Structure 1
Amino acid sequence: MNAPTSPHLLQPTGQGIGQRVQRKEDQRLLLGRGQYVGDIRMPDMLDVAFVRAPLAHARIHGIAKPAGCEAMVYTMADLAGVQPILAASALPGFKRSVQWPLAQDKVRHVGELVAACVAPTRARAEDIAAGVEVDYAELPVLADMHAAMAASTRLHEDWADNVFAETHVDRKLAQSDVPGHTVRRQLRTSRQCMAPLEGRAVLCWWDHRLDQLVMYSAAQLPHINRTGLAECLGLDQGRVRVISPDVGGGFGYKGILLPEEICCAWLARHLRRPVRWLEDRREQLSANANCREHAYDIAVTVEADGRLVGIECDAVVDSGAYSSYPFTACLEAAQVGSILPGPYQMDWFRCRTRSAATNKPPILPYRGVARTGVCFALELMLDAAARELGLEPHEVRRKSLVPASAMPFTNITNKLFDSGDYLQAMDQAIAALGWDAWRARQREAHAAPGGRRIGLGLAVFCEQGAHGTSVYHGWGIPMVPGYEQCAARFTPDGVLELRLGAHSHGQGMETSMAQVAHSVLGIAIAQVRLVHGDTAQSPYSTGTWGSRCAVMSGGAVGTAARALAERMRAMAAVLLEVPAETLRLQGGSFHTADGANALTLADIARTWYRAPQKIPPGIDPGGLEIVVGYKTQPDTGTFSYACHACAVEVDTATGQVRLLDYAICEDGGVLLNPLIVEGQLIGGLAQGIGTALYEEMPFDAEGQPLASTLADYLLPGAGEMPPLKVLHMETPSPHSLFGQKGIGEGGAIAPPAAIVNAVNDALFALGAELTACPASPERVLAALAAAQEARA
Structure 2
Amino acid sequence: MTSAIGARAPRKEDARHLSGKARFVGDIKVAGTWEAAFVRSPLAHARLGAITKPPGMEAQVFTAEDMPDLAPIRCESTLPSYKVSDYPALARGKVRYVGECIAICIAPTRAEAEDLAEAVIVDLDPLPAVADIDTALAADAPRLHEDWEDNLFLTTRHDGDLSEAKARATVVIERSYETARQAMNPMEGKGVLAEWDHRADQLVVHTSTQVPHLIRTGLSECLGLDQAQVRVIAPDVGGGFGYKCVLQPEELSVAWVARKTGRPVRWTEDRREHLTAGVNTRQHRYRITAYADDDGRLLGLDADIWVDIGAYSVWPFTACLEAAQAGGNLPGPYDLGAYACRTYSVATNKPGFTPYRGVARPGVCFAMELTLDAIARAVGRDPLEVRCLNLVPGAAMPYTNVTGKFYDSGDYPAAARAAAQMIDAEGFAARKAAAAAEGRLIGLGYACFTEQSAHGTKVFAAWGLPLVPGYEQAMVKLTPSGTVEVRSGNHSFGQGLETTLAQVACEWLHLDLAQVRVTMGDTGLTPYSTGAYASRGMVMAGGAVSKASEELARRLRIHGAHLLQCDPAETEIREGAVWKGQASVGFAAIADAWYLHPDRLPEDVDTAGLEVTEGYKPDIDTGLFTYATHAAMVEVDPESGRTEILDYVIFEDCGRRVNPMILDGQSYGGAAQGIGSALFEEALYDAAGQPLTSTLADYILPGPAELPAFRLGHSETLSPYSRHGIKGVGEGAAIAPAGAIVNAINDALAPMGAELTRIPATPHRVLAAILDARAAREAAQ
TM-score by length of 2: 0.98
Match of 1:438 in 2: 428
Match of 1:145 in 2: 133
Match of 1:615 in 2: 601
The residue identity in structure 1 corresponding to 2:151 is: N
Describe the SS at the equivalent of 2:73.
coil
Deviation for aligned residue 1:519: 0.9
In structure 2, the CA distance between the partners of 1:182 and 1:216, relative to structure 1 (3 Å rule), is: same
Describe the SS at the equivalent of 1:316.
strand
Q: Does 1:735 align with 2:735?
A: no
Q: Does 1:484 align with 2:472?
A: yes
The residue identity in structure 2 corresponding to 1:65 is: K
Match of 1:160 in 2: 149
Match of 2:281 in 1: 291
The residue identity in structure 1 corresponding to 2:213 is: H
The residue identity in structure 1 corresponding to 2:156 is: T
What aligned pairs does 1:447-466 form with structure 2 within 5 A after superposition?
447-449=437-439, 452-466=440-454
Describe the SS at the equivalent of 1:49.
strand
Paired residues of 1:570 and 1:619 also in contact (CA < 8 A): no
Q: Does 1:652 align with 2:641?
A: no
Paired residues of 2:180 and 2:282 also in contact (CA < 8 A): yes
Paired residues of 2:162 and 2:340 also in contact (CA < 8 A): no
Per-residue displacement from partner, 1:544-600 (whole Å, max 9, x unpaired)? 0001111111111110001111111111122111111111222222111xx131112
Describe the SS at the equivalent of 1:761.
helix
Match of 2:745 in 1: 759
Deviation for aligned residue 1:174: 9.5
In 2, Cα distance between the equivalents of 1:647 and 1:121? 51
Match of 1:397 in 2: 387
Match of 1:587 among 575, 589, 595: 575
The residue identity in structure 2 corresponding to 1:653 is: E
In 1, Cα distance between the equivalents of 2:168 and 2:302? 18
Q: Does 1:238 align with 2:210?
A: no
Paired residues of 2:2 and 2:512 also in contact (CA < 8 A): no
Per-residue displacement from partner, 1:448-496 (whole Å, max 9, x unpaired)? 33xx310110000010001110111111112211000011111100111
Match of 2:404 among 408, 411, 414: 414
Deviation for aligned residue 1:417: 0.5
In 2, Cα distance between the equivalents of 1:151 and 1:33? 56
Paired residues of 1:291 and 1:366 also in contact (CA < 8 A): yes
Paired residues of 2:178 and 2:285 also in contact (CA < 8 A): yes
Paired residues of 1:294 and 1:317 also in contact (CA < 8 A): yes
In 1, Cα distance between the equivalents of 2:163 and 2:421? 34
Match of 2:353 among 351, 356, 363: 363
Per-residue displacement from partner, 1:278-318 (whole Å, max 9, x unpaired)? 10000000111000000001111111101110110000001
The residue identity in structure 1 corresponding to 2:376 is: A
Per-residue displacement from partner, 1:653-685 (whole Å, max 9, x unpaired)? 111000000111000101001000000000001
Match of 1:3 in 2: none
Paired residues of 1:174 and 1:347 also in contact (CA < 8 A): no
Deviation for aligned residue 1:151: 4.1
Match of 1:99 in 2: 87
Q: Does 1:548 align with 2:548?
A: no
Match of 2:624 in 1: 638
Spell out structure 1 runs of 4+ moving beyond 6 A. Answer: none
In 1, Cα distance between the equivalents of 2:121 and 2:241? 36
Describe the SS at the equivalent of 2:16.
helix
The residue identity in structure 1 corresponding to 2:113 is: A
Per-residue displacement from partner, 1:126-175 (whole Å, max 9, x unpaired)? 11111111111111100011220224311000001000000001234994
Match of 2:329 among 339, 349, 369: 339
Match of 1:664 among 630, 642, 650: 650
Aligned-residue RMSD, C-alpha: 1.1
In structure 2, the CA distance between the partners of 1:195 and 1:414, relative to structure 1 (3 Å rule), is: same
Match of 1:133 in 2: 121
Matched length: 776
In 2, Cα distance between the equivalents of 1:306 and 1:699? 39
Match of 2:414 in 1: 424
In 1, Cα distance between the equivalents of 2:707 and 2:575? 42
Describe the SS at the equivalent of 2:291.
strand
Paired residues of 2:81 and 2:154 also in contact (CA < 8 A): yes
Match of 2:53 among 65, 68, 77: 65
Paired residues of 2:43 and 2:690 also in contact (CA < 8 A): yes
What aligned pairs does 1:111-122 form with structure 2 within 5 A after superposition?
111-122=99-110
Unaligned runs of 5+ in 2: none
In 1, Cα distance between the equivalents of 2:489 and 2:162? 41
Unaligned runs of 5+ in 1: 1-12
In 1, Cα distance between the equivalents of 2:368 and 2:640? 28
Paired residues of 1:166 and 1:353 also in contact (CA < 8 A): yes
Q: Does 1:679 align with 2:665?
A: yes
The residue identity in structure 2 corresponding to 1:83 is: A
Match of 2:160 among 171, 181, 206: 171
Q: Does 1:601 align with 2:587?
A: yes
In 1, Cα distance between the equivalents of 2:4 and 2:425? 36
In 1, Cα distance between the equivalents of 2:393 and 2:401? 12
Q: Does 1:493 align with 2:474?
A: no
The residue identity in structure 1 corresponding to 2:708 is: P
Deviation for aligned residue 1:105: 1.0
In 1, Cα distance between the equivalents of 2:209 and 2:582? 51
The residue identity in structure 2 corresponding to 1:169 is: H
The residue identity in structure 1 corresponding to 2:80 is: P
Match of 1:505 in 2: 493
The residue identity in structure 2 corresponding to 1:585 is: I
Q: Does 1:253 align with 2:243?
A: yes
Match of 1:40 among 25, 28, 38: 28
* Percent of aligned positions that are identical: 53
In structure 2, the CA distance between the partners of 1:608 and 1:173, relative to structure 1 (3 Å rule), is: farther
Match of 2:8 among 17, 20, 29: 20
Match of 2:516 among 510, 528, 549: 528
Match of 1:325 among 297, 312, 315: 315
In 2, Cα distance between the equivalents of 1:735 and 1:409? 14
The residue identity in structure 2 corresponding to 1:141 is: A
In structure 2, the CA distance between the partners of 1:172 and 1:735, relative to structure 1 (3 Å rule), is: farther
Deviation for aligned residue 1:182: 1.0
Per-residue displacement from partner, 1:393-430 (whole Å, max 9, x unpaired)? 11111111111111111111111101001111111100
Match of 2:559 in 1: 571
Paired residues of 1:175 and 1:347 also in contact (CA < 8 A): no
